Amino acid sequence: MTSCGIYSFSGTSIQPDVNTITINYIEYRALRVNPAFSNEFTEAIRNQFRRMTRLEQVEHDGDMELSGEVTGYEITPAAVTADEVAARNKLTVTVKIQFSDKKHPEEDFDKSFSAYSEYDSNNTIDAVESSLCAEIIEKLVEDIFNAAVAQW
């Protein structure tokens, strides 16, 4: 069986000459504060690349580099009752990601990703924030990973 050398069963399409990646800490710049989000998000991205690619993660000068910042963390009404009261709220997180591939610069991008999760307005954000963030992080990591190395 022959192949072009860039496809893997994990769905990634990493060129054979790319061996390392630097995943920088994702800074938190949103107005609404969530002190744990950046750490959890950065670790989730690193874990995804560890699990799904053969790339060695290095502190500096990787063949690929990913960096970014959390630019938005907002709670908005998602559904309103007849009395104009929010029945459901939505937590939306937006991140701006810069990705570069030193050996294949045509793969570089600088773009924003956004994900949200809804919750019943009978709950306080404090009661559901942790589980909402876990869902949102999972969605964001999948989108960023696919944009960077799956190119679907």
Q: Which two tokens stand for residue 28?
A: 């938190």
In order of 6, 32, 89, 92, 138, the CA distances from 43 in angstroms are 26, 21, 27, 20, 11
53 lies in which domain range? 20-150
The answer to whether the CB of 68 falls within 8 A of the CB of 111 is: no
pLDDT at residue number 13 = 79
| Percent share of the chain, pLDDT over 90 | 80
Q: Decide: 79 and 115 in contact? Cβ < 8 Å.
A: no
The CATH number covering residue 121 comes to: 3.30.160.150
Confidence of residue 152 (pLDDT cuts 50, 70, 90): low
Q: Is 53 among the domain residues?
A: yes
Q: How far is CA 55 from CA 34, 52, 137, in A?
A: 30, 9, 21
pLDDT for 2 beyond 90:
no
Number of domains present in the structure of the chain? 1
In a domain, 145, yes or no: yes
β-pair partners for 18: none
Domain membership of residue 27 (yes or no) is yes
Residue 140 included in any domain: yes
* pLDDT, tens digit, 9 for 90 and up, residues 128-144: 999 999 999 999 999 99
Q: What is the largest CA-CA distance in the chain?
A: 65
38-52, 71-85, 86-100: lowest mean pLDDT where? 71-85
Element of type H or E holding 136: helix 125-145
Residue 64 in any domain: the answer is yes
In a domain, 67, yes or no: yes
Instruction: Quick: pLDDT tens for 27-73.
Output: 999 999 999 999 999 999 999 999 999 999 999 999 999 999 999 99
115 domain residue, yes or no: yes
Whether 8 is covered by a domain: the verdict is no
